[in-house]
Amino acid sequence: GVSAPPKDLYTAPESCEGRCGEPLSEEDACHCHPECERLRSCCGDYDRHCRPGGFSRSRDSITEQELLEISEQLYGLDHNRARPGDITINPQHRAGPDETGQRQDLSPQPLYKHVNEELFSKATYSSFIKLLDNYQRATGREEEVTAEELREQDNFLGEVMKTELMRKLFAFLREKNRYGSEQEFLEDLKGMWFGLYSRGDGEQDSSGFEHVFSGEVKKGKVSGFHNWIRFYLLEKQGIVNYFSHNFDGPWDTFPTVLGLQFSWDGFHKEVGSAFIGSSPEFELGLYTLCFLARPGRACHLSLGGHSLSIQTFPWTKSTYGSGRRFIATAYVMSP
């Protein structure tokens, strides 16, 4: 049978749990490859986890090569992505490094010229869109979660789990002894993405999903908000004003990536990076993969032959289950 996975898979980047034998990388705070002893760069718990008898077997760590392979497979399985012609964007002004903080609207036209809204009738899109209005965007405002909203969360996760993309991700993670059953994976997705924690003064005011996909306002600035569907729907209502972009990905098809400046009801976002034209399950899947494989660190992927990195951070002040971490944020890194 499948051996029980280690209890705490979302460890701080300073730990070797689940990382034994991982290749050395300068970006890592400390290392878990045998070579670290010679370099004197081992993590504090290297002996406990990676010496013979430690439970983190190196074959369960996810290598750089495996990340490139699985991300390329997930990219190929994004059957619900926008097709050429479904979306026309008008990026207009390209901001230099000194312009991103200026809060000026340098693009008179909206970002989205055209979106084929038939996309939104696909099951993963429609169940995703239902979740977007469930949140108070101000941090420090307690989130009241109704029974209907819980049903909407279950419905969304149920729909994404039907996709070939998420089934592939689950199969990969099961192979790596991260999950024993699909039910366990589903429960954990619910915890890491929808579990509530406090970004403010104790109120249960935030979740990974709200932060990443819906967006929040904290100290007068937009925080999170990395989703193209949310952006398009709010821009259409006149609530979001597109200012400029500072990064345009190498793709000439969807999904592509933009780094953008905008204001949301008067609150400014200096650089909000987002996939454009990808399905909700594609984003959820890639962010989840990176959160499990490289929490708190750059996660290097390959998508359609192009390299791209995703940064995730675990929420460190509270946990769920047996010490598992909520997602604090996840986003595409613009180079």
Look at residues 164, 148, 84, 147 and name the one whose alpha carbon lies nearest to residue 116: 84
Please state whether beta strands 306-320 and 256-264 pair in parallel, antiparallel, or not at all (unpaired): unpaired
Q: Taking the CB of residue 89, how many other CB atoms lie within 10 A of it? A: 21
Active site residues: 211, 226, 269
| pLDDT value, residue 6 | 40
Q: Where in the chain is the domain with CATH 4.10.410.20?
A: 1-51
Q: Is 151 helix (H, G, I), strand (E, B) or coil?
A: helix
H helices of 237-328, where? 280-293
CATH number of the domain at 1-51, please? 4.10.410.20
pLDDT in 10s for each residue of the chain, 335 residues: 444 444 334 446 788 888 888 888 888 888 888 888 788 888 888 877 787 644 444 557 899 999 999 999 999 999 999 999 999 999 999 999 999 999 999 999 999 999 999 999 999 999 999 999 889 888 888 999 999 999 999 999 999 999 999 999 999 999 998 999 999 999 999 999 999 999 877 889 999 999 999 999 998 999 999 999 999 999 999 999 999 999 999 999 999 999 999 999 999 999 999 999 999 999 999 999 999 999 888 999 999 999 999 999 999 888 898 889 999 999 999 76
Per-residue model confidence as pLDDT tens digits over 266-275: 999 999 999 9
Percentage helix, strand, coil, to 5, in the chain? 35, 25, 45
